[in-house]
Structure 1
Amino acid sequence: MGLIKVILDYIKKDAKSFQERSDNFKAKIDSYLETFGLTAEQVSPLISVLDEITAANIEKAEINRARMAATLKCTNLHRTGEKLVREFRRLIMLSPNCTDDSLEDLGLKPGVRYIDTDKQAPTLKENQVAGVPQIRYDKSSFDGIRIFCRVGDQENFDKGQIVTQTKYNDIRPRVDPSKPETREYYAYYILKDQIVGKRSNIVKIELGPVV
Protein backbone atom coordinates (compact mmCIF):
# COMPACT_ATOMS: atom_id res chain seq x y z
CA MET A 1 0.00 0.00 0.00
CA GLY A 2 1.19 3.51 -0.78
CA LEU A 3 0.73 6.67 1.21
CA ILE A 4 -2.65 8.41 1.28
CA LYS A 5 -2.61 12.18 1.51
CA VAL A 6 -5.13 13.56 3.98
CA ILE A 7 -5.77 17.30 4.13
CA LEU A 8 -6.08 18.55 7.71
CA ASP A 9 -8.25 21.59 8.34
CA TYR A 10 -6.27 24.61 9.50
CA ILE A 11 -9.22 25.64 11.67
CA LYS A 12 -9.02 23.53 14.82
CA LYS A 13 -12.20 22.28 16.46
CA ASP A 14 -11.04 22.12 20.07
CA ALA A 15 -10.99 25.42 21.95
CA LYS A 16 -7.37 25.20 23.13
CA SER A 17 -5.90 24.64 19.67
CA PHE A 18 -8.20 27.26 18.13
CA GLN A 19 -7.06 29.77 20.77
CA GLU A 20 -3.38 29.01 20.15
CA ARG A 21 -3.77 29.59 16.40
CA SER A 22 -5.87 32.67 17.04
CA ASP A 23 -3.17 34.19 19.26
CA ASN A 24 -0.52 33.35 16.64
CA PHE A 25 -2.60 34.96 13.86
CA LYS A 26 -3.28 38.15 15.81
CA ALA A 27 0.39 38.51 16.75
CA LYS A 28 1.66 38.21 13.17
CA ILE A 29 -1.03 39.45 10.77
CA ASP A 30 0.05 43.15 10.91
CA SER A 31 3.43 42.26 9.44
CA TYR A 32 1.70 40.71 6.41
CA LEU A 33 -0.82 43.47 5.62
CA GLU A 34 1.48 45.34 3.23
CA THR A 35 2.57 42.06 1.61
CA PHE A 36 -1.04 41.11 0.91
CA GLY A 37 -2.06 44.66 -0.03
CA LEU A 38 -4.58 44.83 2.81
CA THR A 39 -5.48 47.55 5.28
CA ALA A 40 -5.99 47.37 9.05
CA GLU A 41 -9.68 48.13 8.48
CA GLN A 42 -10.08 45.00 6.37
CA VAL A 43 -8.69 42.68 9.05
CA SER A 44 -10.32 44.55 11.95
CA PRO A 45 -13.68 42.62 11.90
CA LEU A 46 -11.85 39.27 12.09
CA ILE A 47 -9.58 40.47 14.90
CA SER A 48 -12.63 41.73 16.78
CA VAL A 49 -14.38 38.35 16.61
CA LEU A 50 -11.20 36.51 17.62
CA ASP A 51 -10.90 38.84 20.63
CA GLU A 52 -14.50 38.09 21.57
CA ILE A 53 -13.81 34.35 21.35
CA THR A 54 -10.79 34.80 23.64
CA ALA A 55 -12.88 36.74 26.16
CA ALA A 56 -15.65 34.13 26.02
CA ASN A 57 -13.16 31.32 26.62
CA ILE A 58 -11.74 33.15 29.63
CA GLU A 59 -15.25 33.69 31.00
CA LYS A 60 -16.11 30.03 30.46
CA ALA A 61 -12.93 28.90 32.24
CA GLU A 62 -13.69 31.19 35.20
CA ILE A 63 -17.25 29.84 35.43
CA ASN A 64 -15.97 26.26 35.34
CA ARG A 65 -13.43 26.99 38.07
CA ALA A 66 -16.14 28.62 40.19
CA ARG A 67 -18.47 25.68 39.59
CA MET A 68 -15.79 23.17 40.62
CA ALA A 69 -14.98 25.20 43.72
CA ALA A 70 -18.66 25.43 44.65
CA THR A 71 -19.14 21.69 44.14
CA LEU A 72 -16.14 20.91 46.36
CA LYS A 73 -17.40 23.34 49.01
CA CYS A 74 -20.87 21.76 48.99
CA THR A 75 -19.41 18.25 49.24
CA ASN A 76 -17.21 19.14 52.20
CA LEU A 77 -20.00 21.02 53.98
CA HIS A 78 -22.38 18.11 53.42
CA ARG A 79 -19.91 15.69 55.03
CA THR A 80 -19.48 18.01 58.00
CA GLY A 81 -23.23 18.54 58.28
CA GLU A 82 -23.95 14.81 58.12
CA LYS A 83 -21.46 14.12 60.92
CA LEU A 84 -22.93 16.85 63.13
CA VAL A 85 -26.51 15.70 62.51
CA ARG A 86 -25.63 12.13 63.53
CA GLU A 87 -23.84 13.40 66.65
CA PHE A 88 -26.81 15.61 67.56
CA ARG A 89 -29.21 12.69 67.11
CA ARG A 90 -27.16 10.62 69.52
CA LEU A 91 -27.25 13.55 71.96
CA ILE A 92 -31.03 14.00 71.96
CA MET A 93 -31.58 10.25 72.21
CA LEU A 94 -29.96 10.44 75.65
CA SER A 95 -32.91 12.54 76.78
CA PRO A 96 -35.70 10.58 78.55
CA ASN A 97 -38.16 12.77 76.65
CA CYS A 98 -36.93 11.62 73.23
CA THR A 99 -39.64 9.62 71.44
CA ASP A 100 -40.11 8.06 68.02
CA ASP A 101 -42.65 10.77 67.26
CA SER A 102 -40.19 13.57 68.05
CA LEU A 103 -37.50 11.92 65.93
CA GLU A 104 -40.00 11.50 63.13
CA ASP A 105 -41.06 15.14 63.41
CA LEU A 106 -37.44 16.30 63.17
CA GLY A 107 -36.69 14.00 60.25
CA LEU A 108 -34.22 12.01 62.35
CA LYS A 109 -35.98 8.65 62.41
CA PRO A 110 -34.48 5.99 60.12
CA GLY A 111 -36.74 4.53 57.48
CA VAL A 112 -37.42 0.85 57.08
CA ARG A 113 -37.20 -1.14 53.85
CA TYR A 114 -38.08 -4.81 53.54
CA ILE A 115 -36.22 -7.03 51.09
CA ASP A 116 -37.60 -10.33 49.91
CA THR A 117 -34.39 -12.34 50.07
CA ASP A 118 -35.97 -15.22 48.14
CA LYS A 119 -36.12 -13.03 45.02
CA GLN A 120 -32.62 -11.54 45.19
CA ALA A 121 -29.75 -12.69 42.98
CA PRO A 122 -26.29 -11.13 42.68
CA THR A 123 -25.18 -9.86 39.28
CA LEU A 124 -21.60 -10.87 38.60
CA LYS A 125 -19.25 -8.81 36.43
CA GLU A 126 -15.98 -10.32 35.27
CA ASN A 127 -12.58 -8.75 34.63
CA GLN A 128 -8.90 -9.62 34.56
CA VAL A 129 -6.32 -7.75 36.62
CA ALA A 130 -2.73 -8.63 35.73
CA GLY A 131 -3.90 -12.00 34.48
CA VAL A 132 -5.90 -12.75 37.65
CA PRO A 133 -9.68 -13.33 37.35
CA GLN A 134 -11.66 -10.68 39.22
CA ILE A 135 -15.38 -10.96 39.98
CA ARG A 136 -17.34 -7.92 41.13
CA TYR A 137 -20.89 -7.66 42.47
CA ASP A 138 -23.21 -5.35 44.42
CA LYS A 139 -23.22 -6.44 48.06
CA SER A 140 -26.51 -4.64 48.78
CA SER A 141 -27.90 -5.51 52.24
CA PHE A 142 -26.34 -8.96 52.38
CA ASP A 143 -23.22 -10.24 54.15
CA GLY A 144 -21.57 -11.28 50.90
CA ILE A 145 -21.77 -14.15 48.41
CA ARG A 146 -20.86 -17.79 48.12
CA ILE A 147 -19.09 -18.10 44.80
CA PHE A 148 -18.67 -21.30 42.82
CA CYS A 149 -16.12 -22.00 40.11
CA ARG A 150 -15.58 -24.50 37.31
CA VAL A 151 -12.20 -24.77 35.61
CA GLY A 152 -11.76 -25.88 32.01
CA ASP A 153 -13.78 -28.92 31.00
CA GLN A 154 -14.57 -30.00 34.57
CA GLU A 155 -18.05 -31.48 34.75
CA ASN A 156 -19.12 -29.78 37.99
CA PHE A 157 -18.55 -26.54 39.81
CA ASP A 158 -16.59 -26.64 43.08
CA LYS A 159 -18.15 -26.43 46.56
CA GLY A 160 -17.72 -22.67 46.61
CA GLN A 161 -16.27 -20.20 49.06
CA ILE A 162 -17.65 -17.25 50.99
CA VAL A 163 -16.66 -13.75 49.83
CA THR A 164 -17.51 -10.77 52.03
CA GLN A 165 -15.82 -8.08 49.91
CA THR A 166 -17.39 -6.63 46.76
CA LYS A 167 -14.45 -7.92 44.69
CA TYR A 168 -13.13 -11.45 44.48
CA ASN A 169 -9.69 -12.10 43.01
CA ASP A 170 -9.22 -15.76 42.10
CA ILE A 171 -5.51 -16.20 42.80
CA ARG A 172 -5.52 -19.99 42.66
CA PRO A 173 -2.71 -21.39 40.50
CA ARG A 174 -3.42 -22.58 36.95
CA VAL A 175 -3.89 -26.26 36.22
CA ASP A 176 -1.23 -25.96 33.50
CA PRO A 177 0.39 -22.50 33.26
CA SER A 178 1.62 -23.26 29.76
CA LYS A 179 -1.90 -23.61 28.37
CA PRO A 180 -4.98 -21.35 28.12
CA GLU A 181 -7.55 -21.89 30.86
CA THR A 182 -11.27 -21.17 31.15
CA ARG A 183 -12.93 -20.38 34.47
CA GLU A 184 -16.68 -20.02 35.00
CA TYR A 185 -18.36 -18.55 38.06
CA TYR A 186 -21.79 -18.18 39.63
CA ALA A 187 -22.84 -17.14 43.12
CA TYR A 188 -25.62 -16.83 45.68
CA TYR A 189 -26.08 -14.14 48.29
CA ILE A 190 -25.37 -15.15 51.89
CA LEU A 191 -27.00 -13.87 55.07
CA LYS A 192 -25.69 -15.05 58.44
CA ASP A 193 -23.55 -17.64 56.62
CA GLN A 194 -26.60 -19.11 54.88
CA ILE A 195 -27.30 -19.10 51.13
CA VAL A 196 -30.39 -17.05 50.26
CA GLY A 197 -32.16 -16.01 47.08
CA LYS A 198 -31.57 -17.07 43.52
CA ARG A 199 -28.48 -18.04 41.59
CA SER A 200 -26.56 -15.30 39.80
CA ASN A 201 -25.69 -15.17 36.15
CA ILE A 202 -22.76 -17.29 35.01
CA VAL A 203 -19.64 -15.43 33.86
CA LYS A 204 -16.72 -16.90 31.96
CA ILE A 205 -13.12 -15.73 31.89
CA GLU A 206 -10.56 -16.90 29.31
CA LEU A 207 -7.04 -16.92 30.71
CA GLY A 208 -4.03 -16.99 28.45
CA PRO A 209 -0.91 -19.05 29.13
CA VAL A 210 1.58 -17.52 31.56
CA VAL A 211 4.74 -19.33 30.43
Structure 2
Amino acid sequence: MPTVISKKEFPETKEANFIRKRDNFLAKVFQYVEAGILPREETEALTQALNEDKQRMDKKNEDKKIAHDSNVVYHEGHPPVVSQLRAYKHMSDNNPLVTPEIRQELELYSEEKVETTNGKKPDLKGREVGGLAQLTYTKKPMHGILLYARINGGEYDFETLVKDSKFTDTRPRRNPKEVEIREYYAYYIFDGKKVGKQSEIIRVVLNPIE
Protein backbone atom coordinates (compact mmCIF):
# COMPACT_ATOMS: atom_id res chain seq x y z
CA MET A 1 0.00 0.00 0.00
CA PRO A 2 1.54 3.35 -1.00
CA THR A 3 2.11 5.92 1.72
CA VAL A 4 2.20 9.70 1.54
CA ILE A 5 4.57 11.56 3.85
CA SER A 6 3.99 15.23 4.54
CA LYS A 7 6.22 17.43 6.66
CA LYS A 8 4.94 20.04 9.03
CA GLU A 9 6.62 23.42 9.02
CA PHE A 10 9.05 24.06 11.87
CA PRO A 11 8.18 25.87 13.98
CA GLU A 12 4.49 25.31 13.40
CA THR A 13 2.45 28.36 12.48
CA LYS A 14 -0.75 27.29 14.25
CA GLU A 15 -0.74 29.09 17.57
CA ALA A 16 -2.05 26.20 19.67
CA ASN A 17 0.63 23.83 18.35
CA PHE A 18 3.35 26.45 18.76
CA ILE A 19 2.29 27.05 22.38
CA ARG A 20 2.30 23.34 23.17
CA LYS A 21 5.77 22.79 21.73
CA ARG A 22 7.15 25.99 23.23
CA ASP A 23 5.96 25.12 26.74
CA ASN A 24 7.27 21.58 26.39
CA PHE A 25 10.66 22.91 25.30
CA LEU A 26 10.86 25.42 28.17
CA ALA A 27 9.95 22.75 30.74
CA LYS A 28 12.53 20.20 29.61
CA VAL A 29 15.46 21.86 27.88
CA PHE A 30 17.57 22.79 30.91
CA GLN A 31 18.05 19.19 32.02
CA TYR A 32 20.12 18.79 28.86
CA VAL A 33 21.96 22.02 29.56
CA GLU A 34 22.85 20.79 33.06
CA ALA A 35 24.00 17.51 31.57
CA GLY A 36 26.37 19.40 29.26
CA ILE A 37 24.56 18.27 26.10
CA LEU A 38 23.14 21.65 25.05
CA PRO A 39 24.96 25.01 25.29
CA ARG A 40 23.90 27.23 28.19
CA GLU A 41 24.36 30.66 26.60
CA GLU A 42 22.40 29.95 23.44
CA THR A 43 19.68 28.12 25.39
CA GLU A 44 19.27 30.94 27.89
CA ALA A 45 19.04 33.47 25.05
CA LEU A 46 16.41 31.39 23.30
CA THR A 47 14.35 30.77 26.42
CA GLN A 48 14.39 34.48 27.22
CA ALA A 49 13.13 35.25 23.71
CA LEU A 50 10.45 32.56 24.00
CA ASN A 51 9.28 33.89 27.37
CA GLU A 52 9.10 37.44 26.03
CA ASP A 53 7.16 36.13 23.03
CA LYS A 54 4.83 34.29 25.43
CA GLN A 55 4.13 37.54 27.28
CA ARG A 56 3.28 39.30 24.02
CA MET A 57 1.07 36.42 22.94
CA ASP A 58 -0.75 36.33 26.26
CA LYS A 59 -1.29 40.11 26.13
CA LYS A 60 -2.57 39.83 22.54
CA ASN A 61 -5.02 37.08 23.45
CA GLU A 62 -6.14 38.94 26.56
CA ASP A 63 -6.78 42.10 24.52
CA LYS A 64 -8.72 40.09 21.93
CA LYS A 65 -10.90 38.59 24.66
CA ILE A 66 -11.48 42.00 26.22
CA ALA A 67 -12.33 43.44 22.80
CA HIS A 68 -14.72 40.55 22.12
CA ASP A 69 -16.38 40.87 25.51
CA SER A 70 -16.66 44.65 25.11
CA ASN A 71 -18.19 44.19 21.67
CA VAL A 72 -20.80 41.78 23.05
CA VAL A 73 -21.60 44.11 25.94
CA TYR A 74 -21.98 47.06 23.57
CA HIS A 75 -24.27 45.29 21.12
CA GLU A 76 -26.43 43.98 23.95
CA GLY A 77 -26.71 47.38 25.61
CA HIS A 78 -27.00 49.64 22.56
CA PRO A 79 -30.50 48.76 21.18
CA PRO A 80 -32.35 49.76 24.40
CA VAL A 81 -30.58 53.13 24.30
CA VAL A 82 -31.64 53.60 20.67
CA SER A 83 -35.23 52.79 21.64
CA GLN A 84 -35.03 55.23 24.56
CA LEU A 85 -33.68 57.98 22.30
CA ARG A 86 -36.41 57.29 19.72
CA ALA A 87 -39.07 57.52 22.44
CA TYR A 88 -37.56 60.79 23.66
CA LYS A 89 -37.74 62.22 20.14
CA HIS A 90 -41.36 61.11 19.87
CA MET A 91 -42.07 62.86 23.18
CA SER A 92 -40.42 66.05 21.89
CA ASP A 93 -42.47 65.87 18.68
CA ASN A 94 -45.63 66.07 20.80
CA ASN A 95 -44.30 68.85 23.02
CA PRO A 96 -45.50 72.27 21.74
CA LEU A 97 -42.70 73.98 23.66
CA VAL A 98 -40.05 72.23 21.54
CA THR A 99 -39.67 74.48 18.52
CA PRO A 100 -38.25 73.38 15.15
CA GLU A 101 -35.16 75.42 16.01
CA ILE A 102 -34.64 73.39 19.19
CA ARG A 103 -35.13 70.13 17.30
CA GLN A 104 -32.61 71.35 14.73
CA GLU A 105 -30.08 72.30 17.39
CA LEU A 106 -30.43 68.97 19.20
CA GLU A 107 -30.80 67.03 15.92
CA LEU A 108 -34.03 65.51 17.18
CA TYR A 109 -35.50 65.01 13.74
CA SER A 110 -35.67 62.40 11.02
CA GLU A 111 -33.57 63.30 8.02
CA GLU A 112 -35.02 62.92 4.56
CA LYS A 113 -32.72 62.16 1.68
CA VAL A 114 -34.01 63.29 -1.67
CA GLU A 115 -32.34 61.80 -4.73
CA THR A 116 -33.27 61.11 -8.31
CA THR A 117 -33.34 57.68 -9.83
CA ASN A 118 -31.70 58.78 -13.09
CA GLY A 119 -28.12 58.10 -12.08
CA LYS A 120 -28.70 55.07 -9.90
CA LYS A 121 -27.38 51.68 -10.93
CA PRO A 122 -27.40 48.42 -8.96
CA ASP A 123 -24.16 47.43 -7.23
CA LEU A 124 -24.42 43.75 -8.17
CA LYS A 125 -22.14 41.28 -6.43
CA GLY A 126 -22.04 37.56 -7.16
CA ARG A 127 -20.48 34.34 -5.92
CA GLU A 128 -20.93 30.60 -6.11
CA VAL A 129 -22.78 29.06 -3.16
CA GLY A 130 -23.38 25.33 -3.13
CA GLY A 131 -22.99 25.06 -6.88
CA LEU A 132 -25.45 27.91 -7.57
CA ALA A 133 -24.89 31.55 -8.49
CA GLN A 134 -25.96 33.88 -5.68
CA LEU A 135 -26.34 37.62 -6.28
CA THR A 136 -26.73 40.50 -3.84
CA TYR A 137 -27.24 44.23 -4.22
CA THR A 138 -28.25 47.28 -2.22
CA LYS A 139 -32.02 47.50 -2.51
CA LYS A 140 -33.16 50.57 -0.55
CA PRO A 141 -34.57 53.03 -1.45
CA MET A 142 -35.49 51.20 -4.65
CA HIS A 143 -38.12 48.47 -4.95
CA GLY A 144 -36.05 45.79 -6.67
CA ILE A 145 -34.15 45.07 -9.86
CA LEU A 146 -34.83 43.74 -13.32
CA LEU A 147 -32.12 41.12 -13.81
CA TYR A 148 -30.74 39.82 -17.09
CA ALA A 149 -28.42 36.83 -17.53
CA ARG A 150 -26.61 34.68 -20.05
CA ILE A 151 -24.64 31.44 -19.93
CA ASN A 152 -21.18 30.81 -21.40
CA GLY A 153 -21.16 33.94 -23.53
CA GLY A 154 -24.47 33.28 -25.27
CA GLU A 155 -27.44 35.60 -25.62
CA TYR A 156 -28.96 37.40 -22.64
CA ASP A 157 -32.04 35.22 -22.78
CA PHE A 158 -32.96 35.23 -19.09
CA GLU A 159 -34.94 38.04 -17.46
CA THR A 160 -36.52 38.14 -14.02
CA LEU A 161 -37.83 40.65 -11.49
CA VAL A 162 -36.03 40.45 -8.14
CA LYS A 163 -37.78 42.09 -5.19
CA ASP A 164 -35.43 40.87 -2.46
CA SER A 165 -31.87 42.07 -1.94
CA LYS A 166 -30.56 38.54 -2.63
CA PHE A 167 -31.20 36.26 -5.58
CA THR A 168 -30.17 32.64 -6.10
CA ASP A 169 -30.12 31.40 -9.68
CA THR A 170 -31.62 27.92 -9.41
CA ARG A 171 -31.75 27.20 -13.14
CA PRO A 172 -30.28 23.77 -13.93
CA ARG A 173 -26.73 23.50 -15.21
CA ARG A 174 -26.23 22.69 -18.88
CA ASN A 175 -23.52 20.20 -18.01
CA PRO A 176 -22.81 19.76 -14.29
CA LYS A 177 -19.45 18.13 -15.06
CA GLU A 178 -18.11 21.24 -16.82
CA VAL A 179 -17.29 24.79 -15.75
CA GLU A 180 -20.20 27.12 -16.46
CA ILE A 181 -19.94 30.90 -16.61
CA ARG A 182 -23.02 32.95 -15.84
CA GLU A 183 -23.06 36.69 -16.48
CA TYR A 184 -25.56 39.18 -15.10
CA TYR A 185 -26.54 42.83 -15.28
CA ALA A 186 -29.54 44.68 -13.90
CA TYR A 187 -31.56 47.88 -13.73
CA TYR A 188 -33.31 49.22 -10.68
CA ILE A 189 -37.10 49.05 -10.42
CA PHE A 190 -39.01 51.91 -8.76
CA ASP A 191 -42.80 52.05 -8.62
CA GLY A 192 -42.93 49.18 -11.09
CA LYS A 193 -40.75 50.92 -13.70
CA LYS A 194 -37.19 50.31 -14.87
CA VAL A 195 -35.11 53.32 -13.86
CA GLY A 196 -31.54 54.55 -13.75
CA LYS A 197 -28.49 53.08 -15.43
CA GLN A 198 -27.41 49.55 -16.23
CA SER A 199 -25.24 47.92 -13.60
CA GLU A 200 -21.79 46.61 -14.31
CA ILE A 201 -21.79 43.13 -15.82
CA ILE A 202 -20.67 40.59 -13.24
CA ARG A 203 -19.51 37.04 -13.79
CA VAL A 204 -20.06 34.00 -11.58
CA VAL A 205 -18.01 30.89 -12.35
CA LEU A 206 -19.75 27.64 -11.43
CA ASN A 207 -17.23 24.86 -10.91
CA PRO A 208 -17.93 21.30 -12.04
CA ILE A 209 -20.02 19.17 -9.72
CA GLU A 210 -18.33 15.87 -8.95
TM-score, normalised with respect to structure 2: 0.74
Shift of 1:145: 0.8
Distance in 1 of aligned mates of 2:27 and 2:61:
23
Shift of 1:48: 4.2
Q: Does 1:118 align with 2:135?
A: no
Name the amino acid aligned to 2:117.
T
Q: 1:160-171 residue pairs with structure 2 within 5 A?
A: 160-171=159-170
Deviation string, structure 1 residues 153-194 (Cα, Å, up to 9, x no partner)? 765545x33212111122244578798766443211111111
Shift of 1:53: 3.2
Distance in 1 of aligned mates of 2:9 and 2:206:
45
Partner in structure 2 of residue 189 of structure 1: 188
Partner in structure 2 of residue 200 of structure 1: 199
- More deviation in 70-79 or 172-181? 172-181
Distance 1:44 1:123, change over 3 A: closer
Indicate conservation of the 8 Å contact 2:128/2:205, yes or no.
Answer: no
- More deviation in 31-40 or 65-74? 31-40
Distance in 1 of aligned mates of 2:205 and 2:7:
43
Name the amino acid aligned to 1:85.
L
Q: Could you tell me which runs of 5 or more consecutive residues in structure 1 were left unpaired when the two chains were aligned.
A: 1-5
Distance in 1 of aligned mates of 2:66 and 2:11:
30
Distance in 2 of aligned mates of 1:101 and 1:37:
83
Partner in structure 1 of residue 92 of structure 2: 92
Distance 1:180 1:72, change over 3 A: closer
Deviation string, structure 1 residues 33-87 (Cα, Å, up to 9, x no partner)? 3432679788555544433333333233222222222222233333222121112
- More deviation in 10-19 or 162-171? 10-19
Greater radius of gyration (CA): 1
Partner in structure 2 of residue 65 of structure 1: 65
Partner in structure 2 of residue 74 of structure 1: 74
Number of equivalences: 206
Indicate conservation of the 8 Å contact 2:144/2:164, yes or no.
Answer: yes
SS at match of 2:95: coil
Distance in 2 of aligned mates of 1:8 and 1:176:
39
SS at match of 2:127: strand
Q: Could you tell me which runs of 5 or more consecutive residues in structure 2 were left unpaired when the two chains were aligned.
A: 1-5
Distance 1:183 1:91, change over 3 A: same
Shift of 1:208: 6.8
Distance in 1 of aligned mates of 2:152 and 2:45:
71
Name the amino acid aligned to 1:86.
R
Which consecutive aligned stretches of 4+ in structure 1 deviate over 3 angstroms post-superposition? 6-19, 37-53, 96-99, 149-158, 172-184, 203-211
Distance 1:155 1:64, change over 3 A: closer
Partner in structure 2 of residue 3 of structure 1: none
